[in-house]
Structure 1
Amino acid sequence: MIEFKNVAYGYGGGDLLTGIDLSLQAGSFHFLTGPSGSGKTTFLKMCYRELLPSAGRLDIFDQDVREMSRDGVADLRRRIGVVHQDCQFLDHLSVAENVALPLTVAGRAVDGEDLMALLGWVGLSKQADALPPELSGGERQRAALARAVIMSPEVIIADEPTGNVDWDMSQRLLTLLVELNRMGKTVLLATHDMNLIRVAKQQVATRVLRISNRRLQAAGADL
Protein backbone atom coordinates (compact mmCIF):
# COMPACT_ATOMS: atom_id res chain seq x y z
CA MET A 1 0.00 0.00 0.00
CA ILE A 2 2.74 2.44 1.05
CA GLU A 3 6.43 1.79 0.45
CA PHE A 4 9.40 3.90 1.56
CA LYS A 5 12.79 3.27 -0.07
CA ASN A 6 15.67 5.11 1.60
CA VAL A 7 13.42 8.13 2.13
CA ALA A 8 14.53 11.33 3.83
CA TYR A 9 12.72 14.53 4.66
CA GLY A 10 14.50 17.73 5.54
CA TYR A 11 14.22 21.48 5.57
CA GLY A 12 16.44 24.37 6.58
CA GLY A 13 19.61 22.53 5.61
CA GLY A 14 19.13 19.41 7.74
CA ASP A 15 17.21 16.14 7.68
CA LEU A 16 14.39 15.59 10.16
CA LEU A 17 14.04 12.00 8.94
CA THR A 18 16.53 9.92 6.99
CA GLY A 19 17.13 6.41 5.67
CA ILE A 20 13.53 5.25 5.97
CA ASP A 21 12.77 1.82 4.50
CA LEU A 22 9.28 0.52 5.20
CA SER A 23 6.49 -1.37 3.50
CA LEU A 24 2.96 -1.03 4.87
CA GLN A 25 1.04 -4.07 3.69
CA ALA A 26 -2.68 -4.23 3.04
CA GLY A 27 -4.62 -5.11 6.17
CA SER A 28 -1.76 -4.38 8.57
CA PHE A 29 -2.00 -2.45 11.85
CA HIS A 30 0.98 -0.26 12.77
CA PHE A 31 1.62 1.99 15.74
CA LEU A 32 4.05 4.89 15.39
CA THR A 33 5.81 6.18 18.50
CA GLY A 34 8.63 8.57 19.29
CA PRO A 35 9.41 11.71 21.30
CA SER A 36 7.64 14.98 20.58
CA GLY A 37 9.38 16.72 17.71
CA SER A 38 10.90 13.50 16.37
CA GLY A 39 9.01 13.69 13.08
CA LYS A 40 5.92 11.50 13.60
CA THR A 41 3.52 13.97 12.01
CA THR A 42 5.97 14.62 9.17
CA PHE A 43 6.17 10.87 8.50
CA LEU A 44 2.37 10.56 8.50
CA LYS A 45 2.01 13.53 6.13
CA MET A 46 4.33 11.79 3.66
CA CYS A 47 2.08 8.71 3.91
CA TYR A 48 -0.85 10.68 2.48
CA ARG A 49 1.26 12.96 0.24
CA GLU A 50 0.75 16.13 2.23
CA LEU A 51 4.56 16.33 2.13
CA LEU A 52 6.95 14.97 -0.48
CA PRO A 53 10.26 13.35 0.51
CA SER A 54 13.43 15.33 -0.07
CA ALA A 55 15.31 12.15 -1.03
CA GLY A 56 14.59 8.51 -1.81
CA ARG A 57 11.46 7.02 -3.33
CA LEU A 58 7.97 6.79 -1.88
CA ASP A 59 5.28 4.75 -3.60
CA ILE A 60 1.64 4.93 -2.57
CA PHE A 61 -0.68 2.42 -4.23
CA ASP A 62 2.19 1.47 -6.55
CA GLN A 63 2.69 5.03 -7.78
CA ASP A 64 5.72 7.25 -7.23
CA VAL A 65 4.36 10.24 -5.29
CA ARG A 66 6.48 12.65 -7.33
CA GLU A 67 4.95 11.47 -10.60
CA MET A 68 1.28 11.41 -9.59
CA SER A 69 -1.14 13.29 -11.81
CA ARG A 70 -3.82 15.53 -10.36
CA ASP A 71 -6.32 12.70 -10.82
CA GLY A 72 -3.90 10.33 -9.12
CA VAL A 73 -3.64 12.59 -6.10
CA ALA A 74 -7.43 12.93 -5.94
CA ASP A 75 -7.76 9.14 -6.06
CA LEU A 76 -5.18 8.79 -3.29
CA ARG A 77 -7.11 11.20 -1.04
CA ARG A 78 -10.24 9.09 -1.51
CA ARG A 79 -8.39 5.89 -0.63
CA ILE A 80 -6.72 7.23 2.53
CA GLY A 81 -8.72 8.55 5.48
CA VAL A 82 -6.92 10.84 7.93
CA VAL A 83 -7.81 11.57 11.56
CA HIS A 84 -5.97 14.59 12.97
CA GLN A 85 -5.40 15.18 16.67
CA ASP A 86 -6.75 18.71 16.34
CA CYS A 87 -9.80 17.86 14.26
CA GLN A 88 -11.36 20.84 12.50
CA PHE A 89 -15.05 21.13 11.69
CA LEU A 90 -17.30 23.75 10.13
CA ASP A 91 -19.12 25.05 13.17
CA HIS A 92 -22.20 26.21 11.25
CA LEU A 93 -22.87 22.69 9.96
CA SER A 94 -24.34 19.86 12.01
CA VAL A 95 -22.26 16.85 13.02
CA ALA A 96 -23.99 14.77 10.34
CA GLU A 97 -23.25 17.40 7.69
CA ASN A 98 -19.60 17.63 8.77
CA VAL A 99 -19.19 13.86 8.64
CA ALA A 100 -20.77 13.77 5.16
CA LEU A 101 -18.65 16.67 3.89
CA PRO A 102 -16.10 14.50 1.98
CA LEU A 103 -18.99 13.03 -0.03
CA THR A 104 -20.47 16.48 -0.62
CA VAL A 105 -17.16 17.93 -1.79
CA ALA A 106 -16.66 14.95 -4.12
CA GLY A 107 -20.11 15.55 -5.63
CA ARG A 108 -21.42 12.22 -4.44
CA ALA A 109 -24.91 11.63 -3.09
CA VAL A 110 -25.29 11.23 0.65
CA ASP A 111 -27.33 8.20 1.65
CA GLY A 112 -29.12 9.22 4.85
CA GLU A 113 -29.46 5.67 6.14
CA ASP A 114 -25.79 4.91 5.57
CA LEU A 115 -24.80 8.18 7.25
CA MET A 116 -26.91 7.45 10.32
CA ALA A 117 -25.54 3.90 10.46
CA LEU A 118 -22.01 5.32 10.47
CA LEU A 119 -22.88 7.81 13.21
CA GLY A 120 -24.42 4.96 15.19
CA TRP A 121 -21.25 2.92 14.77
CA VAL A 122 -19.19 5.69 16.41
CA GLY A 123 -21.89 6.28 19.05
CA LEU A 124 -23.06 9.68 17.82
CA SER A 125 -26.62 9.02 16.68
CA LYS A 126 -28.03 11.42 19.27
CA GLN A 127 -25.55 14.13 18.27
CA ALA A 128 -26.32 14.01 14.54
CA ASP A 129 -28.06 17.41 14.57
CA ALA A 130 -25.74 19.03 17.12
CA LEU A 131 -23.17 21.65 16.15
CA PRO A 132 -19.46 20.88 16.64
CA PRO A 133 -18.98 23.35 19.54
CA GLU A 134 -21.53 21.33 21.51
CA LEU A 135 -19.41 18.14 21.37
CA SER A 136 -16.99 16.88 23.99
CA GLY A 137 -13.40 16.11 23.05
CA GLY A 138 -14.13 12.41 22.72
CA GLU A 139 -17.22 13.03 20.62
CA ARG A 140 -15.19 15.27 18.30
CA GLN A 141 -12.59 12.54 17.81
CA ARG A 142 -15.28 9.96 17.03
CA ALA A 143 -16.87 12.38 14.56
CA ALA A 144 -13.43 12.89 12.98
CA LEU A 145 -13.04 9.11 12.62
CA ALA A 146 -16.49 8.83 11.02
CA ARG A 147 -15.61 11.60 8.57
CA ALA A 148 -12.31 9.89 7.75
CA VAL A 149 -13.97 6.58 6.85
CA ILE A 150 -17.14 7.78 5.11
CA MET A 151 -15.49 7.41 1.68
CA SER A 152 -14.64 3.78 2.61
CA PRO A 153 -10.87 4.29 2.36
CA GLU A 154 -8.42 1.41 2.26
CA VAL A 155 -5.99 3.07 4.67
CA ILE A 156 -6.74 4.96 7.90
CA ILE A 157 -4.01 7.23 9.28
CA ALA A 158 -4.58 8.66 12.76
CA ASP A 159 -2.26 11.24 14.31
CA GLU A 160 -2.50 11.06 18.12
CA PRO A 161 -6.32 10.66 18.07
CA THR A 162 -6.36 9.76 21.78
CA GLY A 163 -3.99 12.51 22.90
CA ASN A 164 -6.71 14.79 24.28
CA VAL A 165 -9.23 12.28 25.65
CA ASP A 166 -9.45 10.15 28.79
CA TRP A 167 -8.53 6.48 29.04
CA ASP A 168 -12.06 5.15 28.57
CA MET A 169 -12.49 7.18 25.39
CA SER A 170 -9.03 6.14 24.18
CA GLN A 171 -10.08 2.50 24.47
CA ARG A 172 -13.34 3.21 22.67
CA LEU A 173 -11.49 4.85 19.77
CA LEU A 174 -9.04 1.95 19.69
CA THR A 175 -11.92 -0.53 19.51
CA LEU A 176 -13.29 1.28 16.45
CA LEU A 177 -9.88 1.23 14.76
CA VAL A 178 -9.43 -2.47 15.54
CA GLU A 179 -12.86 -3.16 14.02
CA LEU A 180 -11.81 -1.32 10.86
CA ASN A 181 -8.62 -3.37 10.69
CA ARG A 182 -10.60 -6.60 11.04
CA MET A 183 -12.65 -5.42 8.06
CA GLY A 184 -9.44 -5.39 6.05
CA LYS A 185 -8.43 -1.75 6.42
CA THR A 186 -4.79 -0.81 6.86
CA VAL A 187 -4.34 1.26 10.04
CA LEU A 188 -1.41 3.49 11.00
CA LEU A 189 -1.81 5.11 14.41
CA ALA A 190 0.62 7.55 16.03
CA THR A 191 0.52 7.59 19.83
CA HIS A 192 2.56 8.28 22.95
CA ASP A 193 0.39 5.91 24.99
CA MET A 194 2.22 2.64 25.61
CA ASN A 195 -0.77 1.29 27.59
CA LEU A 196 -2.93 1.72 24.49
CA ILE A 197 -0.44 -0.31 22.46
CA ARG A 198 -0.44 -3.08 25.08
CA VAL A 199 -4.24 -3.26 24.99
CA ALA A 200 -4.23 -3.35 21.19
CA LYS A 201 -1.72 -6.21 21.12
CA GLN A 202 -4.26 -8.32 23.01
CA GLN A 203 -6.86 -7.74 20.30
CA VAL A 204 -5.07 -7.62 16.96
CA ALA A 205 -1.70 -8.37 15.35
CA THR A 206 0.23 -5.11 15.42
CA ARG A 207 3.69 -3.85 14.58
CA VAL A 208 5.21 -0.98 16.54
CA LEU A 209 7.44 1.55 14.79
CA ARG A 210 9.55 4.10 16.63
CA ILE A 211 11.24 7.23 15.35
CA SER A 212 14.57 7.77 17.08
CA ASN A 213 17.60 9.78 15.99
CA ARG A 214 15.93 10.70 12.71
CA ARG A 215 15.39 7.07 11.76
CA LEU A 216 12.41 4.73 11.77
CA GLN A 217 12.99 1.55 13.76
CA ALA A 218 10.95 -1.52 14.62
CA ALA A 219 10.28 -1.39 18.37
CA GLY A 220 11.09 -4.40 20.52
CA ALA A 221 8.48 -6.70 22.00
CA ASP A 222 8.91 -5.24 25.49
CA LEU A 223 7.05 -1.96 25.70
Structure 2
Amino acid sequence: MIELENVGYSYGDGALLSDVSITLSPGSFHFLTGPSGAGKTTLMKLCYGALLPSSGMVRAFGADMRALSRDQMALLRRRIGVVHQDCRFLDHLPVADNVALPLTVSGRDMSAESGNLSELMKWVGLAARADALPPELSGGERQRAALARAVIMSPDLVLADEPTGNVDWEMSQRLLQLLVELNRMGKTVLIASHDLGLIRAAKSQVQARVLRISNRQVQLAGADL
Protein backbone atom coordinates (compact mmCIF):
# COMPACT_ATOMS: atom_id res chain seq x y z
CA MET A 1 0.00 0.00 0.00
CA ILE A 2 2.72 2.47 1.07
CA GLU A 3 6.36 1.57 0.49
CA LEU A 4 9.41 3.61 1.41
CA GLU A 5 12.57 2.26 -0.20
CA ASN A 6 15.95 3.61 0.99
CA VAL A 7 14.32 6.97 1.64
CA GLY A 8 16.30 9.93 2.89
CA TYR A 9 15.04 13.42 3.70
CA SER A 10 17.23 16.43 4.33
CA TYR A 11 16.06 19.62 5.98
CA GLY A 12 18.34 22.57 5.47
CA ASP A 13 21.94 21.44 5.80
CA GLY A 14 21.27 18.26 7.78
CA ALA A 15 19.71 14.86 7.17
CA LEU A 16 16.53 14.22 9.17
CA LEU A 17 15.88 10.71 7.81
CA SER A 18 18.35 8.36 6.15
CA ASP A 19 18.00 5.02 4.34
CA VAL A 20 14.45 4.34 5.58
CA SER A 21 12.70 1.25 4.17
CA ILE A 22 9.26 0.33 5.48
CA THR A 23 6.05 -1.16 4.08
CA LEU A 24 2.52 -0.44 5.28
CA SER A 25 0.56 -3.47 4.13
CA PRO A 26 -3.22 -3.45 3.57
CA GLY A 27 -5.07 -3.87 6.87
CA SER A 28 -1.98 -3.41 9.05
CA PHE A 29 -1.77 -1.30 12.22
CA HIS A 30 1.42 0.57 13.02
CA PHE A 31 2.67 2.98 15.64
CA LEU A 32 5.52 5.37 14.85
CA THR A 33 7.43 6.53 17.90
CA GLY A 34 10.59 8.42 18.74
CA PRO A 35 11.69 11.59 20.54
CA SER A 36 10.42 15.03 19.58
CA GLY A 37 12.21 16.29 16.49
CA ALA A 38 13.16 12.78 15.34
CA GLY A 39 11.13 13.08 12.14
CA LYS A 40 7.77 11.42 12.87
CA THR A 41 5.70 14.14 11.21
CA THR A 42 8.14 14.29 8.29
CA LEU A 43 7.84 10.56 7.69
CA MET A 44 4.06 10.79 7.72
CA LYS A 45 4.16 13.65 5.22
CA LEU A 46 6.31 11.48 2.97
CA CYS A 47 3.62 8.78 3.18
CA TYR A 48 0.91 11.04 1.76
CA GLY A 49 2.99 13.10 -0.63
CA ALA A 50 3.10 16.41 1.25
CA LEU A 51 6.88 15.99 1.04
CA LEU A 52 8.97 14.16 -1.53
CA PRO A 53 12.14 12.32 -0.47
CA SER A 54 15.59 13.77 -1.01
CA SER A 55 16.70 10.26 -1.98
CA GLY A 56 15.10 6.87 -2.44
CA MET A 57 11.53 6.15 -3.54
CA VAL A 58 8.05 6.36 -2.03
CA ARG A 59 5.33 4.27 -3.66
CA ALA A 60 1.66 4.69 -2.83
CA PHE A 61 -0.77 2.05 -4.12
CA GLY A 62 1.91 0.96 -6.59
CA ALA A 63 2.64 4.44 -7.97
CA ASP A 64 5.93 6.31 -7.64
CA MET A 65 4.94 9.59 -5.98
CA ARG A 66 7.60 11.50 -7.89
CA ALA A 67 5.97 10.53 -11.19
CA LEU A 68 2.45 11.71 -10.32
CA SER A 69 0.92 14.84 -11.81
CA ARG A 70 -0.88 17.30 -9.55
CA ASP A 71 -4.26 15.83 -10.52
CA GLN A 72 -3.05 12.27 -9.98
CA MET A 73 -1.69 13.23 -6.57
CA ALA A 74 -5.02 14.80 -5.64
CA LEU A 75 -6.85 11.59 -6.56
CA LEU A 76 -4.35 9.48 -4.63
CA ARG A 77 -4.77 11.60 -1.50
CA ARG A 78 -8.48 10.82 -1.47
CA ARG A 79 -7.44 7.29 -0.53
CA ILE A 80 -5.47 8.58 2.48
CA GLY A 81 -7.10 10.19 5.51
CA VAL A 82 -4.85 12.38 7.66
CA VAL A 83 -5.48 13.51 11.23
CA HIS A 84 -3.14 16.46 11.65
CA GLN A 85 -1.59 17.32 14.99
CA ASP A 86 -2.95 20.88 14.99
CA CYS A 87 -6.61 20.04 14.08
CA ARG A 88 -7.27 23.11 11.94
CA PHE A 89 -10.88 23.99 11.16
CA LEU A 90 -12.79 26.82 9.51
CA ASP A 91 -14.10 28.53 12.63
CA HIS A 92 -17.08 30.18 10.89
CA LEU A 93 -18.51 26.82 9.76
CA PRO A 94 -20.39 24.34 11.98
CA VAL A 95 -18.58 21.14 12.91
CA ALA A 96 -20.61 19.01 10.49
CA ASP A 97 -19.72 21.30 7.59
CA ASN A 98 -16.04 21.12 8.56
CA VAL A 99 -16.21 17.32 8.61
CA ALA A 100 -17.90 17.35 5.18
CA LEU A 101 -15.33 19.65 3.56
CA PRO A 102 -13.51 16.83 1.70
CA LEU A 103 -16.83 15.82 0.12
CA THR A 104 -17.53 19.41 -0.90
CA VAL A 105 -14.06 19.91 -2.39
CA SER A 106 -14.33 16.67 -4.38
CA GLY A 107 -17.65 17.72 -5.86
CA ARG A 108 -19.81 15.06 -4.22
CA ASP A 109 -23.61 15.45 -4.13
CA MET A 110 -24.07 16.61 -0.54
CA SER A 111 -27.76 15.73 -0.45
CA ALA A 112 -26.85 12.14 -1.31
CA GLU A 113 -24.12 12.10 1.34
CA SER A 114 -26.17 13.56 4.20
CA GLY A 115 -27.05 10.13 5.61
CA ASN A 116 -23.41 9.02 5.64
CA LEU A 117 -22.39 12.28 7.31
CA SER A 118 -25.01 11.83 10.03
CA GLU A 119 -23.88 8.27 10.68
CA LEU A 120 -20.25 9.35 10.89
CA MET A 121 -21.07 12.12 13.37
CA LYS A 122 -22.86 9.53 15.53
CA TRP A 123 -19.92 7.14 15.25
CA VAL A 124 -17.48 9.69 16.66
CA GLY A 125 -19.99 10.79 19.30
CA LEU A 126 -20.57 14.29 17.92
CA ALA A 127 -24.16 14.08 16.65
CA ALA A 128 -25.30 16.51 19.34
CA ARG A 129 -22.48 18.94 18.46
CA ALA A 130 -23.00 18.98 14.68
CA ASP A 131 -24.15 22.61 14.66
CA ALA A 132 -21.51 23.88 17.10
CA LEU A 133 -18.66 26.05 15.88
CA PRO A 134 -15.09 24.71 16.25
CA PRO A 135 -14.08 27.24 18.98
CA GLU A 136 -16.89 25.82 21.13
CA LEU A 137 -15.45 22.30 21.11
CA SER A 138 -13.31 20.69 23.79
CA GLY A 139 -9.93 19.24 22.90
CA GLY A 140 -11.32 15.72 22.70
CA GLU A 141 -14.24 16.84 20.55
CA ARG A 142 -11.86 18.60 18.16
CA GLN A 143 -9.77 15.44 17.81
CA ARG A 144 -12.86 13.33 17.10
CA ALA A 145 -14.04 15.87 14.54
CA ALA A 146 -10.60 15.75 12.92
CA LEU A 147 -10.80 11.95 12.75
CA ALA A 148 -14.29 12.12 11.23
CA ARG A 149 -13.06 14.55 8.57
CA ALA A 150 -10.11 12.27 7.81
CA VAL A 151 -12.33 9.25 7.14
CA ILE A 152 -15.35 10.91 5.47
CA MET A 153 -14.06 9.81 2.04
CA SER A 154 -13.67 6.21 3.25
CA PRO A 155 -9.89 6.12 2.71
CA ASP A 156 -7.83 2.94 2.55
CA LEU A 157 -5.13 4.38 4.82
CA VAL A 158 -5.50 6.54 7.95
CA LEU A 159 -2.50 8.52 9.23
CA ALA A 160 -2.87 10.10 12.69
CA ASP A 161 -0.15 12.45 13.94
CA GLU A 162 -0.16 12.53 17.77
CA PRO A 163 -3.98 12.29 17.90
CA THR A 164 -4.04 11.96 21.69
CA GLY A 165 -1.34 14.50 22.51
CA ASN A 166 -3.70 17.12 23.94
CA VAL A 167 -6.40 15.02 25.60
CA ASP A 168 -6.74 13.12 28.87
CA TRP A 169 -6.30 9.36 29.21
CA GLU A 170 -10.03 8.58 29.02
CA MET A 171 -10.42 10.51 25.77
CA SER A 172 -7.20 9.02 24.36
CA GLN A 173 -8.72 5.57 24.93
CA ARG A 174 -11.89 6.59 23.10
CA LEU A 175 -9.88 7.89 20.15
CA LEU A 176 -7.79 4.72 20.12
CA GLN A 177 -10.95 2.62 20.08
CA LEU A 178 -12.20 4.49 17.00
CA LEU A 179 -8.90 3.85 15.22
CA VAL A 180 -8.97 0.18 16.21
CA GLU A 181 -12.51 -0.09 14.82
CA LEU A 182 -11.30 1.43 11.53
CA ASN A 183 -8.54 -1.17 11.37
CA ARG A 184 -11.03 -3.96 11.98
CA MET A 185 -13.00 -2.59 9.03
CA GLY A 186 -9.93 -3.25 6.88
CA LYS A 187 -8.27 0.17 6.98
CA THR A 188 -4.52 0.48 7.31
CA VAL A 189 -3.64 2.67 10.31
CA LEU A 190 -0.41 4.48 11.20
CA ILE A 191 -0.32 6.49 14.43
CA ALA A 192 2.59 8.73 15.40
CA SER A 193 2.78 8.80 19.20
CA HIS A 194 5.24 8.91 22.07
CA ASP A 195 2.61 7.60 24.54
CA LEU A 196 3.81 4.12 25.54
CA GLY A 197 0.65 3.51 27.57
CA LEU A 198 -1.46 4.07 24.48
CA ILE A 199 0.75 1.73 22.45
CA ARG A 200 0.44 -1.01 25.06
CA ALA A 201 -3.34 -0.55 25.17
CA ALA A 202 -3.52 -0.92 21.38
CA LYS A 203 -1.36 -4.04 21.34
CA SER A 204 -3.85 -5.72 23.68
CA GLN A 205 -6.55 -5.26 21.02
CA VAL A 206 -4.86 -5.51 17.61
CA GLN A 207 -1.63 -6.82 16.09
CA ALA A 208 0.16 -3.50 16.18
CA ARG A 209 3.74 -3.15 14.99
CA VAL A 210 5.83 -0.40 16.58
CA LEU A 211 8.31 1.49 14.44
CA ARG A 212 10.87 3.66 16.23
CA ILE A 213 12.86 6.49 14.67
CA SER A 214 16.38 6.52 16.05
CA ASN A 215 19.54 8.08 14.59
CA ARG A 216 17.65 9.12 11.43
CA GLN A 217 16.55 5.54 10.71
CA VAL A 218 13.39 3.56 11.37
CA GLN A 219 13.65 0.30 13.30
CA LEU A 220 11.10 -2.26 14.47
CA ALA A 221 10.79 -1.82 18.23
CA GLY A 222 11.24 -4.78 20.55
CA ALA A 223 8.58 -6.84 22.27
CA ASP A 224 9.04 -4.91 25.55
CA LEU A 225 6.53 -2.25 24.45
TM-score of the pair, normalised by structure 1: 0.99
> 1:6-61 deviations in whole A, cap 9, x for unaligned?
10000222210001011110000000000000000000000000000000111111
RMSD across aligned positions (CA): 0.7
Q: Distance in 2 between matches of 1:220 and 1:200?
A: 15
Residues 45-194 of structure 1: pairs in structure 2 closer than 5 A: 45-110=45-110, 111-194=113-196
- The Cα shift of 1:178 comes to 0.2
Aligned to 1:33: 33
Q: Distance in 2 between matches of 1:131 and 1:70?
A: 32
Q: Which runs of 5+ in 2 are unaligned?
A: none
- The Cα shift of 1:166 comes to 0.2
Aligned to 1:196: 198
Within the alignment, does 1:3 sit opposite 2:3 as a pair? yes
Aligned to 1:219: 221
Q: Distance in 2 between matches of 1:38 and 1:209?
A: 12
- The Cα shift of 1:75 comes to 1.3
Q: Distance in 2 between matches of 1:162 and 1:122?
A: 15
**Runs of 4+ in structure 1 displaced over 6 angstroms?**
none
Of 73-82 and 104-113, more deviation after overlay is shown by 104-113
Q: Distance in 2 between matches of 1:137 and 1:12?
A: 33
Q: Distance in 2 between matches of 1:140 and 1:14?
A: 35
Q: Distance in 2 between matches of 1:221 and 1:162?
A: 23
Q: Which runs of 5+ in 1 are unaligned?
A: none
- The Cα shift of 1:67 comes to 0.3
Counting matched residue pairs gives 223
Q: Secondary structure at the match of 2:51?
A: coil
Q: Distance in 2 between matches of 1:69 and 1:3?
A: 19
Q: Secondary structure at the match of 1:66?
A: helix
- Structure 1 residue identity aligned to 2:42: T
Of 208-217 and 4-13, more deviation after overlay is shown by 4-13
Q: Secondary structure at the match of 1:56?
A: strand
> 1:81-123 deviations in whole A, cap 9, x for unaligned?
0001110000110000000010001111122221111000000
% identical equivalent positions: 70
Q: Secondary structure at the match of 1:17?
A: strand
Of 71-80 and 28-37, more deviation after overlay is shown by 71-80
